[in-house]
Structure 1
């Protein structure tokens, strides 16, 4: 009878230890950093941009380094969006982020990223949620 009690207590302790270790592992897992898809330097000063200081127009954001530049940028947002993203960087995706098909010559641009697409239908869908599809394309390109 004592052997059965020892075995039962041992099993309970093993279960508790395993549960605690699993909880620790799950609790210590850090979430992934969100992908920053904006300009990294202020289009006015050239200093590092601050993700908290931005102006938005037509679904695109342009980021500035300080409150002074932000105030100037808000007065002419389109101008600074064009300046910040004058040379779009190809994402390098080979799969269309909208349909999952192989890309063709079709492409869309958003916040300095040139995203390859498969067709004009996907271009229309991309325009409805460019941030989402740019992030998908960046993920695909990094995985390839």
Structure 2
């Protein structure tokens, strides 16, 4: 027999949404990322600290790194933005260099994740850059605003 009790229906909906939210949290908890300050790799579930950043969370290997980040976010923003992308809290929506539609066939792997570009020219620029220069080019504040957006919960 089906229940038409509105309270029962609301409780059932809340239980389903809670289950979905917990499943999403579990998926995030198993993602590997790097501390934007120390560069230490860990899974999000093992993070020692976190802080709100751009309507998302950045995770750290220790509370000391979190304090350094909070004190000087600009210094670590490219690595924090990369972490948002790697953990799935941000998604790519355009070429981070030119702002045009990204072509998955024109991509470069950064931290084991593909970043797509609009053309071979932008891909070539990204591939030629290395280390922090590449991170700044692809995940610095201007590039992040151009090519990525925070995934809404």
Give TM class, smaller chain.
0.3 to 0.5
Q: Mark the structure with the bigger radius of gyration.
A: 1
Give the number of the structure whose residues are more often strand, by fraction. Answer: 2
- TM-score, L = length of structure 2: 0.33
- TM-score, L = length of structure 1: 0.35
Name which structure has the greater RCO, CA cutoff 8 Å, separation 6+.
2
